[in-house]
Amino acid sequence: MTTDLDLDRARRDTPGIDHVAHLNNAGGALRPSLVTDTVVAHLRREAEIGPYEAEAEAEDRVAAVYDSVARLVGAQRDEIALVQSATAAWNVAFASLSIKPGQRLLTARTEYISNAIGLLQACERSGATLEVIEDDEHGQVDLDRLESRLDDDVALVALTHVPTGGGVVNPAAEVGVLTRKAGVPFLLDACQSVGQLDVDVDDLGCDLLAATGRKFLRGPRGTGFLYASRTVTERLVPPVLGLGAATWTSPSTWEAVPGALRFETWERSIADNLGLGAAADYALGFGLPAIERRVVGLADRLRADLAELPGVTVRDKGVRRSGIVTFTVEGRSADEVRARVAAAGVNVSVTRLSSAQLDFGARGLTEVVRASPHYYTSDEELDRLLAALR
Ligand SMILES: *Cc1c(COP(=O)(O)O)cnc(C)c1O
């Protein structure tokens, strides 16, 4: 495959490739050495001079993590909150909205399990109702249907950009045009797109965006971030606040701090946050457009080759497709397939109906095998998966 990305460098920097063909980047990627080294070096420093003292020593680098993450998504540094997962980011943003009885929340079939549960729970608590916008004939959220449902009483549009269990890339930028026109807050789950696609919050038109560190971004586990645009943040106050998120201005008064820091909790792993910053810098070094071209190219090649194998059905839909490739094998359970390819040194994963009730339910699927290459994946590694399946 032709590419403008330095594959040799990407592979040299990824020690995990000596052990396994890792096609589970949608679950958690192999980290580049730089990320591991950054985390370990800070943990050592904490042990040597004290945790607070190590943080003070790294003050400039800790602050620079916000710049790196902001650059990654085209945001300003005061629009970024560092939290411990995409779920934490999504929940703190969602819980900060005021939802009134009778209002409606709109989402799509591909909404992520935790968000869907959060939406359902909020409806039970607030008396709002959840409306699921159908997919169009291509398997992406139907923009005409969405537009027709965007009335004054809609409190939120929640969309998953790239679902966990399918190759579609939802037309988030087109959704953003509609929500801006309607003046409705737009919360985008970009957990699977940040780090694999060229994501820019201005292009997407979202007010709030949640992402994780460990997946395509290749950062440490236990990291994530929220983008909250300056325009919405002033109106959003999280239901749970602590030191760092609010100021205790007198014995009986407090104020939320300006900007996205109000969405953070005070205690965090400084080592992991530094690792997240290193992961963002590392991705920016290759350039997200180059990463996207390579990931999407590898996934397209894999889909084409899988479709040639007898008994294999590729399940991905959508006009635009991501690096997530899903398929089923006739007469074999997804777990059986995963175990077989694992024995050949290839990591893939399984997504089930229980985490995709709306999406898989409508498509009559109970489970799929998921293969998610990354830019550091080689063609030979894809061949290894295909050979194991054969
Ligand atoms: C993995 C995933 C999440 C959750 O991310 P965490 O960091 O585990 O909270 C959210 N949305 C999508 C689409 C995901 O794939």
Query: Closest ligand 1 atom, CA of 212?
Result: 7
Q: State whether the beta carbon of 112 lies less than 6 angstroms from ligand 1.
A: yes
Query: Closest ligand 1 atom, CA of 163?
Result: 13
In a domain, 181, yes or no: yes
Task: Tell me the chain's radius of gyration from C-alpha atoms.
Answer: 21
The CA 224 to ligand 1 mean position distance, Å, reads: 9
The CA 217 to ligand 1 mean position distance, Å, reads: 12
In a domain, 162, yes or no: yes
Inter-CA distances, 359 with 149, 309, 386, Å: 20, 25, 27
In a domain, 268, yes or no: yes
The CA 212 to ligand 1 mean position distance, Å, reads: 7
**Beta-strand relationship, 186-189 and 129-133:** unpaired
In a domain, 28, yes or no: no
Cβ-based neighbour number of residue 66 at 10 Å: 24
Residues 97 and 16 in one domain: no
Final residue before a domain boundary, out of 285, 317, 343:
285
The pLDDT assigned to 4 comes to: 85
The pLDDT assigned to 3 comes to: 59
The CA distance from 262 to 191, in Å, is 21
pTM of the model: 0.97
- The residue assigned the tokens 């790239």 is 162
The CA 52 to ligand 1 mean position distance, Å, reads: 30
Final residue before a domain boundary, out of 257, 285, 313:
285
Residues 346 and 230 in one domain: no
The CA 288 to ligand 1 mean position distance, Å, reads: 20
Q: At what angle do helices 379-389 and 288-308 cross, to 10 degrees?
A: 20
Query: Closest ligand 1 atom, CA of 160?
Result: 13
Q: CATH code at 359?
A: 3.90.1150.10
The CA 17 to ligand 1 mean position distance, Å, reads: 24
In a domain, 30, yes or no: no
Residues 17 and 103 in one domain: no
Residues 58 and 159 in one domain: yes
Query: Closest ligand 1 atom, CA of 161?
Result: 13
Residues 295 and 271 in one domain: no
**Beta-strand relationship, 325-329 and 186-189:** unpaired
Final residue before a domain boundary, out of 285, 314, 342:
285
Query: 104 near 153, Cβ under 8 Å?
Result: yes
Domain residues for the domain of 344 are 7-23+287-389
The CA 124 to ligand 1 mean position distance, Å, reads: 23
In a domain, 274, yes or no: yes
The CA 144 to ligand 1 mean position distance, Å, reads: 27
Q: State whether the beta carbon of 68 lies less than 6 angstroms from ligand 1.
A: no
Residues 262 and 363 in one domain: no
Q: State whether the beta carbon of 189 lies less than 6 angstroms from ligand 1.
A: yes
Residues 269 and 356 in one domain: no
Residues 267 and 371 in one domain: no
Residues 17 and 78 in one domain: no
Domain total in the chain? 2
Q: State whether the beta carbon of 191 lies less than 6 angstroms from ligand 1.
A: yes
Q: State whether the beta carbon of 164 lies less than 6 angstroms from ligand 1.
A: yes
**Best substitution site from 24, 107, 112, 197 to test ligand 1's pocket, by max atoms within 8 Å of Cβ?**
112
Residues 225 and 274 in one domain: yes
Question: What residue ranges of the chain have pLDDT lower than 70?
Answer: 1-3
In a domain, 31, yes or no: no
Write the CB contacts of 193 (distance below 8 Å, at least 6 apart in sequence): 161, 162, 169, 199, 211, 216, 322
Residues 51 and 127 in one domain: yes
In a domain, 32, yes or no: no
The pLDDT assigned to 277 comes to: 98
Residues 335 and 203 in one domain: no
Q: What are phi and psi for residue 98, nearest 5 degrees?
A: -95, 120
